[in-house]
Amino acid sequence: MFRAVLSVIIYWFPYIRILMKLFTLVCLVLIFSSINPIAAQEFNPQKFAKGYFNAWLATQSPNATKENIEHYLTFLADDVGHQHLPYDPEDTRSPDGKSKMRKGMNYYLGSHTEYEGKLISLTDGYNVIVIKYQTSLKGIHPQTKQVIAQNYLTIEVLEIENGKVSVIRKYSE
């Protein structure tokens, strides 16, 4: 009996070694493919912030389109929270946050007859980006139908999660 078991082990030993090496290789591939340090390093907050700001500017242009809004929304998480004091004091994230932003932005789409936004500064930290910009605009408010002309400074604090804006906090004069 012992000789039979020993002969089976001796016969199968080279194949077992090959299977063990393949098993080890598959395990290593699975482990390292789930950990992607390159993707984590690819996020560049300064580049992201400039892209975000330029996308925002395009949505405010007198010639803005729904496609501009959709492009801007690609920077946001689906459950984005938005706070713009004093107009929108709530910053709670909700599953339909991006949908609410889309609805609000489409309501104001094309209301500017003139718009200029000038980037003043970008600062980034751990999962946060701070954008400071000057806004000058003229237009007709879609609700009141009154002519508006404004010039103000805005600071946006963007909380970043998984490469997307999860919360927007706007502070302006």
HSE, CB side, 13 Å, CA atoms: give it for residue 173: 9
Helix (H, G, I), strand (E, B) or coil at 10: helix
Place of tokens 């806004």: 135
Q: What is the mean pLDDT of residues 3-14?
A: 59
Helix, strand, coil percentages (3-state) for the chain, rounded to 5, are 45, 35, 20
pTM of the model: 0.75
Position with higher pLDDT, 105 vs 11: 105
Q: Which residue has the higher pLDDT, 149 or 24?
A: 149
CB 127 within 8 A of CB 167: no
Q: Is the pLDDT of residue 22 over 80?
A: no
For residues 4-16, average pLDDT: 59
Q: pLDDT tens-digit profile of 35-64?
A: 544 444 689 999 999 999 999 999 999 999
- How confident is the model over 106-123, as a mean pLDDT? 96
Q: How many CB atoms lie within 10 A of CB 56?
A: 20
